Amino acid sequence: MTLHVRPTDTKKLISGATGDWEVVIGLEVHAQVASNAKLFSGASTAFGGPPNDHVSLVDAAMPGMLPVINQECVAQAVRTGLGLKAQIHLTSVFDRKNYFYPDLPQGYQISQYKQPVVGEGEVIVDLPDGESIPVGIERLHLEQDAGKSIHDLSPTQSFVDLNRSGVALMEIVSRPDLRSAEEAKAYVTKLRTILRYLGTCDGDMEKGNLRADVNVSVRRPGEPFGTRCEIKNVNSIRFIGQAIETEARRQIEILEDGGSISQETRLFDPTKGETRSMRSKEEAHDYRYFPDPDLLPLVLKPEWVEDLKAKLPELPDEKKARFIADYGLSPYDAGVLVAERETAAYFEQVVDGGGVKRDGKAAANFVINELFGRLNKEGKDVTSSPVSPQQIGAILDLIAEGTISSKIAKDLFEIIFTEGGDPRVVVEARGLKQVTDLGAIEKVVDEIIAKNPDKVAQVLAKPTMLGWFVGQAMKASGGKANPQALNDILKAKLGI
């Protein structure tokens, strides 16, 4: 085992009434496997649909029905394991996890207990302040999702829909390596990015396709782990952060009042901002796992695993390193661009000027500051951007050639964003070209100097006043004057 122990980081401590506390967090992320059919049946995994429509007799646990494993679900779990730099276990076993609930018709969930398909791995988590921390992955296993119970359709009854019953899930268990709500959020964000790059889970948290059980405990720095509580089924990254903050505070208060934490399962209520005990689940914790006699061990051929490995796409860490090396981007900008595969692809199309590479830094700045800012305002993302990478490329070329100033480029971008069109044609048609005709600039400068003798006197005494003249001249030229030429002419005319 690669047990690495994180030294206490004083920045991450929470101060209580009687001193500092360290929060220790581990996560179990449930990620729905992207597949057409379910883990052990031929029914569809499509979201929604009429109740009990995406259900085969296997999913409904009719007597005599036998599970047959979907090979693609296994491949997706293996791809994910490879993406997490984890050990792939060539032999793994499916077990029955026994408990009763109306949305679990079998009376057990088929899961993997002692021999999961994927073992130890590691995720590098990038924090907003630029720090990167390794987070250990303990295991990843395949299991079935349960059906869905709806409690608000009748005052006396619960309604059960088995459409999700039997859909494949990957449970990805981290080591207790996280030390703050911020780190936990960054971990889930990174994990989601990796899954989306791999195409093994769509990461749609609103549909419940990615959700987390959060284990939280607190301790005095340097002491052994405290007793943990598990917060079940948190379904947004923001709520994961809130649940951790809330739960850590609750535990610290109890301990500082001389109490002790009892290990239990809790639920986070975002509207009340509190976690509360789910006492009814306590005794159900005796799952009496045993190997599922309906399923032989899952044995993978090494060459099949190698083949999946060879076909993996470029992953975010590698892409980020390449963007930094090839395009000279800052780690921060590279991180922003690789967060989504689509965004990274868009950026690379902007840079690709048809054989001649455009300047990476300029492209990154424009994409991050202008395009993302504008898309955010409209609630859109790059996949629904009204401006194509080629149009942005053309704007960048116009700036690079000196045809337009970077200030005009913003106006031009706004026109293209709202009205569309070829940037070169728009520049011609609307007269947005930068004025580099020195005679025209001189004329403007002469007029301003003639009209403002008081300012001329001031600038001679205080050369920083030059900015005022630049501003006036720019205004008079409609922002089109070449800034360098304008500066030179002003200095020459004013004699400074």
Partner 1 sequence: MSVDQATVRRVAHLARISVREDELGHLQSELNAILEFVEQLADLDVSGVEPLTSVVPVELPMRADVVTDGHCPEKVLANAPDAEGGFFTVPKVVE
Binding footprint of partner 1 on the chain (CB under 8 A): 35-37, 41-44, 50-60, 68-74, 98, 100-102, 149-151, 153-162, 267, 278, 280, 283, 286, 288, 295-299
Smaller CB separation from partner 1, 294 or 447:
294
Smaller CB separation from partner 1, 296 or 457:
296
Minimum CB distance to partner 1, residue 396 (Å): 42
Minimum CB distance to partner 1, residue 68 (Å): 5
Smaller CB separation from partner 1, 68 or 429:
68
Contacts of 38 (CB under 8 A, 6+ apart): 44, 45, 56, 59, 70, 144, 166, 167, 168
Confirm if 405 and 480 have CB atoms less than 8 A apart: yes
Smaller CB separation from partner 1, 1 or 299:
299
Cα 276 to Cα 279: distance, rounded to the nearest angstrom:
9
Minimum CB distance to partner 1, residue 123 (Å): 27
Torsion sign (Cα): 127, 131, 137, 138: negative
Minimum CB distance to partner 1, residue 60 (Å): 5
Smaller CB separation from partner 1, 179 or 211:
211
Smaller CB separation from partner 1, 158 or 406:
158
Smaller CB separation from partner 1, 61 or 345:
61
Confirm if 416 and 388 have CB atoms less than 8 A apart: no
Residue where the block lists tokens 């976690």? 275
8-state DSSP, 352: E
Smaller CB separation from partner 1, 101 or 372:
101
Confirm if 39 and 73 have CB atoms less than 8 A apart: yes
Minimum CB distance to partner 1, residue 305 (Å): 15
How far is it between the farthest Cα atoms of the chain?
99
Cα 81 to Cα 300: distance, rounded to the nearest angstrom:
14
Cα 355 to Cα 343: distance, rounded to the nearest angstrom:
21
Confirm if 243 and 214 have CB atoms less than 8 A apart: yes
Minimum CB distance to partner 1, residue 31 (Å): 17
Beta strands in 265-378 (DSSP E): 265-269, 274-277, 290-291, 298-299, 352-353, 356-357
Minimum CB distance to partner 1, residue 104 (Å): 11
Minimum CB distance to partner 1, residue 277 (Å): 10
Cα 217 to Cα 209: distance, rounded to the nearest angstrom:
26
